[in-house]
Amino acid sequence: MPFTEFLALAMIGAFFVMLMAGIPVAICLAVTGFVFGYAGFGPMLFNLVPARIYGVITNYTLLALPLFIFMGLMLERSKIAEQLLDVIGLAMGGIRGGMALAIIIVGVLMGAASGVVGATVVTLGLIALAPVLNRGYDKGVATGVICASGTLGQIIPPSLVLILLADIMGQSVGTLFAAALIPGLLLSGMFVLYIIVLGLIKPGSMPPIPQAERDAISGGELAVKLLQVVAPPIALIFLVLGSIIGGVAAPTEAASMGALGSILLAAFTGRLTYPMMREVVRASFIASAMVFMILIFAQPFALAFRGLGGERLVHDAFSMVPGGLDGQILFLMILIFFLGFFLEWIEISYIALPLFLPVFASAGADLTWIAILVAVNLQMSFLTPPFGWALFFLKGVAPPGVTTLDIYRGVVPFIAIQALAVFMVYLFPGLATWLPEAIGW
C-alpha cells in the first residue's frame, strides 16, 4: 500500500479520535485536512482550498439554509405548534391514543413548515409531554412519540438534510424534495398505524381525553378553530413546497417566501414583537454559522482525502463487498445506522457519504433513490442512543419524573419502524422516484 494511502487511513482515524475527545467537528475537519494534506502533497493544498471555499460561500442554493432555519425558529416562537396541538388533540381526543395521533400530525405540519428538527422536538416536549402524562399516558409512549414526530422534519420537505444531500450528491433540491414527499408521508402513516394498534393492544397506556373536557367545546366551535389554526400553516407549506416542486421558484426564493410567511403568521397570532424578532434572527445566525463552518472546513478535508488516494481505497474496499450494487447499498445503510449512534447527521453526510458516492455513481445507481435511502436512515441518528439529539432535546425540557431510560425505551419501537421504512424504500424504489419522474424533474 502506498504511503499516501496510509496517510488517508491515519487521517480518518485522527478525525474520529479528535471527535470522540469532544473537539467540535469543524475544528476536527480543518486540523486533519490541513495537517495530513500538507504531509501528503505539500503547499499545493493551500492553492486548491480557496477555490473550493469560494464555491461553498457563493452557492446560491445554500442560501436557503439560513432562511429555512429562520422560518422554523419563527414558527416555534410564535407558538403555532401549541395551538395546533390543542385543537387537533381535542378533535381526536375520543380515540385511545388521540393525543399521540395529534402529536404526529403536528410533527408532520411543523416538519413540512420548517424542517428544523431541534425546534420541533423542543416545542412538542414543552407543550405536549406534561399534558399527556397528566392524562395517564405511559412515559415511554409519550416520550417516544414526541421524539419520533419531532424528527419527521428530517425527511419531510423542506428538510435541511435534503438541501445538503442535494449539494453533496449533485442533485436538484427540487428533485429531492419531490422524492422525499411520499417516503415522508409513508413514515408518518406507519407511526399513526403503530399508535392505533398500540391503543387497541394496550389501551391503558394511552387513555382518551375525558368526556367532560371534550364537551366543553361544541362541534361547530371546534370546526371553526380547526380552520383558523390549521389553514395558515398548510397555506405556508403549499406556498413553499408547491413553488419548489412545481418549478415556480428556486429553493432559495421559496425559502425567502417561507421566511416572510412565518413573520406574517407570527403577526397574525399577535406574537410578533421586536424582542422576539431579535431573538429569532440571533438564533438563526448562530445555527447558520455552525452549519456553514462545517461546510467550509469540510473542503480541505475532502481535498486532502482525495489527494491521498482515499477514494481509491474506498472503491477497492467496496469491490470486495459481496452482492454487487445491492450488497454495497446494504453495507452503506448498515454503516450509516451504526455511525448514527455516535455522530450527528451532518458529520455523517459530509464525512461518510462523499467517500462512497463515486462508487454508486460509477455503478450507475439512481442517486435520487440513494439520497432518500440515506435521508430516511439519517433520521434514525436523531433517535439512536446514546447520542441521539432528539433524546437530548427532549430530556432537556422533560419534567423531573421522566428519566433517560424512559426516553430510550420509548424510541425503540419508532427506530424499528424507521428501519422498516428504509427497507420499504429499498424494496420499492418507485416510492422515491415516481413523483420526480411524474412532474418531469
**pLDDT over 70 (residue 255):** yes
Domain-located, residue 393: yes
Alpha-carbon distance of 381 to 361, in angstroms, equals 25
Average of per-residue pLDDT across 122-144: 82
Residues 6 or more apart from 257 whose CB is under 8 A from it?
A: 239, 240, 243, 249
d(CA 437, CA 433) in angstroms, rounded, equals 6
Exposure string over 340-359, b if 16+ CB within 10 A, otherwise e: beebbbbbbbbbbbbbbbeb
Task: Note whether residue 396 is domain-resident.
Answer: yes
The verdict on residue 161 lying in a domain is: yes
Q: Which residues contact 363 (CB under 8 A, 6 or more apart)?
A: 325, 328
Q: Which domain holds residue 362?
A: 62-271+317-438
Q: Is the Cβ–Cβ distance between 153 and 116 less than 8 Å? A: yes
Give the C-alpha separation, 316 to 310, whole Å.
10
What SS3 string covers 19-53? Answer: HHCCCCHHHHHHHHHHHHHHHHHCCHHHHHHHHHH
Residue (of 291, 308, 296) closest to 13 by Cα position: 308
Instruction: Tell whether 306 is covered by a domain.
Output: no
The grid coordinates of residue 131 equal 399534558
Q: What is the DSSP annotation of 44-91? A: HHHHHHHHHHHHHHT-SGGGHHHHHHHHHHHHHHTTHHHHHHHHHHHH
Cα–Cα dist 304/298, whole Å: 10
What lies within 8 Å, CB to CB, of 195 at 6+ separation is 97, 100, 101, 104, 145, 206
Asked whether residue 228 is domain-assigned, the answer is: yes
Kindly give, in sequence order, each residue whose CB lies less than 8 Å from that of residue 357, ignoring residues fewer than 6 positions away: 168, 169, 367
Give the span between the Cα atoms of 14 and 28, in whole angstroms: 8
C-alpha cell of residue 191: 407511526
Reported confidence tier of residue 386, pLDDT bands at 50, 70, 90: low
The pLDDT assigned to 357 comes to 79
Q: In Å, what is the CA distance from 155 to each residue of 44, 225, 398, 418, 427?
A: 39, 29, 25, 11, 18
Distance CA 149, CA 135 (A): 19
Number of domains in the chain: 1
Q: What is the mean pLDDT of the chain?
A: 81
Total count of residues recorded for the chain: 441
30 within some domain: no
Check whether 238 has a pLDDT greater than 70: yes
Dig out the grid coordinates for 384 from the structure: 439512536
Cα–Cα distance for residue pair 393/157, rounded to 1 Å: 21
pTM attached to this predicted model: 0.80
Percent helix, percent strand, percent coil in the chain, to nearest 5: 80, 0, 20
139: region left, alpha or beta (phi > 0 left; psi from -120 to 50 alpha): alpha
Q: What type of residue sits at position 177?
A: F
**Position 259 in a domain:** yes
321 φ, ψ (degrees, to nearest 5) = -75, 125
Average pLDDT over residues 113-127: 71
Q: How confident is the model at residue 441 (pLDDT cuts 50, 70, 90)?
A: low
> What is the rounded distance in angstroms from the CA atom of residue 353 to the CA atom of residue 341?
16
Cα distance between the two ends of the chain: 43
Least confident segment among 104-108, 189-193, 198-202, 229-233: 229-233
By CB atoms closer than 10 A (0-12, 13-18, 19+), residue 107 is buried
pLDDT of residue 206: 80
Confirm whether 28 is domain-assigned.
Answer: no
What pLDDT shows up at residue 182?
93
Question: Which tens digit of pLDDT belongs to each residue from 12-64?
Answer: 888 878 877 878 778 888 888 888 888 877 777 777 788 878 877 887 777 87
